[in-house]
Amino acid sequence: MTHDTIAAIATAPGQGGVSIVRISGTEAEQVLLRVFRPAKAAPLTSHMLTYGHVMDGDETIDECMAVLMRAPRSYTREDVAELQLHGGGYTCQRVLEKCLQSGARLAQPGEFTRRAFLNGRIDLSQAEAVMSLIAAQGDRAHQAAMHQLQGGASSFIRQAADELYAIQAGAAACIDYPEEISEEEAANDLLPRIERLAETIENACNEKAARIITSGLTVALCGRPNVGKSSLLNALLGEDRAIVTAIPGTTRDMITGEMLLGGSVIHLIDTAGLHATNDPVEQLGVARAEAAIRQADAVLMVLDAGMPLTDEDRDLLGKLQGLNCALVLNKSDLPAALTTEAAAKLLPGAPVISVSAHDAASLTALKDYLRQQAAVADHLTLTQPRHLEAARRAAAHLRQAAQSLALAIDFAAVDLQAAQLALSEITGDQVEEKLLDKVFSQFCVGK
């Protein structure tokens, strides 16, 4: 499986200037030469573009450029050939089929990167960074993926693993030579080191910040009917996304939209106006709104500055206690019936931001607030959920080892081994085939 020659379309489907068919494996050059006829009959030079045609018998399928990258100087560390074709579904598909008839097999999702990993060019965490880089929607996600691709996560994990090996060696010495090192002596030496290492790893596990960097900040707009939630969503997005009317209860389902602010992706959710209702459709909308509020990273409670506070506003304020919430005083263009000063007393700790959905220029403070909410720690060591889960597990085993030390050093050694195994899953130093299948199945074909 890992030595045959694979091929796939590496570019996204659809029309474009160029599309690329990529081939990798021991027979890459032969497959290329079976489908590609160079304009000048000369041997291909590695890493040099050659002009020519893709042929099917006497029929010319496309005019193109081809490049051969001989092992090991290639993405997979195998011989790799690429055909740069005219971008379009049919031509590209036909060239791929020709490659498959000429000795290549269709690559599975992520198989090129899997080979790069298996051939030792990158470790598993770097391989995953490739996919994160492809998926990055904003500057922050891009930076985090680049940091990981350049070995940021790997070097942290390797340092932790080295310290853990040293701790394990200390434990092993005590187990092997009990007459020279007493358990008590060893425990006194090892306990603070184990605890320090657990803490270092725990500090690197900030799941919420990691999720905000890689997937964006989720912000729910909530409030009673008619305060202007949908108008605000439209104003922030700069497009007419949600229906706005003067009739309370206009929005019944959740409406989402994405915006980029300071390099961060913000997912805005407009919700149904929250109030007591007998309408079964509205009731469902209210239940969805309440769930969105609970799950959001930040909640914007919208209030109508043109009207005094209502009982519905007060009910909702009660439900928002303890959430990460800001009060947005909308309709600031109207004569104030609810002032900023009065609003500031409503929800302790929640900032009050005055806006008018009818005036785009008034949204600056609100955008600043959202930017600041998305600005979590920039250079996080670990950002991939799989890494965070394994690191948490490693830290838990270390904490367990610290407790086991008090019982017997043999027990602690077992926990230390489990921690080491969890760390090695991140870089892929010790990894099962099943885990690799899972990681690479999330890749796109052709990468």
Q: Give me the sign of the Cα torsion angle 171, 174, 177, 181.
A: positive
140 versus 229: smaller Cβ distance to Mg ion? 229
Beta bridge partner(s), residue 298: 219
Min dist. Cβ of residue 306 to Mg ion (A): 16
CA torsion angle 336 337 341 346 (round to 10): -140
Residue 231 touching ligand GTP (CB under 6 A): yes
Q: Which of 201, 154, 147, 197 is nearest to 391 (CA)?
A: 201
Q: Which does 249 bind (CB under 5 to 8 A by kind): Mg ion, ligand GTP, none?
A: ligand GTP
Min dist. Cβ of residue 296 to ligand GTP (A): 17
Q: Tell me which stretch binds ligand GTP (CB under 6 A): 163-171, 276-284, 350-358, 388-396.
A: 350-358
Beta bridge partner(s), residue 268: 219, 257
Min dist. Cβ of residue 250 to Mg ion (A): 5
How is 6-58 classified by DSSP, letter by letter?
EEEE-SPSS--SEEEEEEESTTHHHHHHHHEEESS-SPPPTT-EEEEEEEETT
Q: Tell me which stretch binds Mg ion (CB under 5 A): 28-36, 199-207, 250-258, 304-312.
A: 250-258
216 versus 228: smaller Cβ distance to ligand GTP? 228
Residue 52 makes CB contacts below 8 A (sequence gap 6+) with 36, 37, 38, 39, 63, 64, 65, 66
Residue 356 touching ligand GTP (CB under 6 A): yes
Q: Tell me which stretch binds ligand GTP (CB under 6 A): 126-134, 158-166, 225-233, 422-430.
A: 225-233
Read off the tokens for 284: 């469902």
Between the alpha carbon of residue 203 and those of residues 77, 196, 198, 387, the distances in Å are 36, 11, 9, 13
Read off the tokens for 216: 């964006």
| Residues 252 and 272: beta-carbon distance below 8 Å | yes
* 349 class by beta-carbon count within 10 Å (0-12 exposed, 13-18 middle, 19+ buried): exposed
357 versus 402: smaller Cβ distance to ligand GTP? 357
Residue nearest to ligand GTP (CB): 273
Residue 230 touching Mg ion (CB under 5 A): yes
Q: Tell me which stretch binds ligand GTP (CB under 6 A): 10-18, 70-78, 106-114, 245-253.
A: 245-253
Q: What is the CA radius of gyration of the chain?
A: 29
Residue 249 touching ligand GTP (CB under 6 A): yes
Residue 225 touching ligand GTP (CB under 6 A): yes
Give residue 444's Cα distance to chain centre: 15
41 versus 246: smaller Cβ distance to ligand GTP? 246
Q: Where are the beta strands (DSSP E) in 298-377?
A: 298-304, 325-330, 352-354
Q: Tell me which stretch binds Mg ion (CB under 5 A): 105-113, 243-251, 258-266, 300-308.
A: 243-251
Residue 357 touching ligand GTP (CB under 6 A): yes
CA-based max dimension of the chain: 86
| Contact with ligand GTP (CB under 6 A) among 19, 206, 226, 354 | 226
Q: Tell me which stretch binds ligand GTP (CB under 6 A): 163-171, 173-181, 325-333, 401-409.
A: 325-333
Residue 330 touching Mg ion (CB under 5 A): no
| Contact with ligand GTP (CB under 6 A) among 244, 255, 388, 412 | 244
102 versus 230: smaller Cβ distance to Mg ion? 230
6 versus 357: smaller Cβ distance to Mg ion? 357
| Contact with Mg ion (CB under 5 A) among 218, 251, 332, 427 | 251
* 187 class by beta-carbon count within 10 Å (0-12 exposed, 13-18 middle, 19+ buried): buried
Q: Which does 171 bind (CB under 5 to 8 A by kind): Mg ion, ligand GTP, none?
A: none
Residue 432 makes CB contacts below 8 A (sequence gap 6+) with none
Q: Which does 246 bind (CB under 5 to 8 A by kind): Mg ion, ligand GTP, none?
A: ligand GTP
Q: Angle of helix 152-176 relative to helix 124-135, nearest 10 degrees? A: 160
Residue 245 touching ligand GTP (CB under 6 A): yes
Min dist. Cβ of residue 417 to Mg ion (A): 56
36-38 and 18-24: which strand pairing? unpaired
134 versus 334: smaller Cβ distance to ligand GTP? 334
Footprint of ligand GTP (CB under 6 A): 223, 225-231, 244-246, 248-251, 273, 330-331, 333-334, 356-358
Footprint of Mg ion (CB under 5 A): 229-230, 250-251
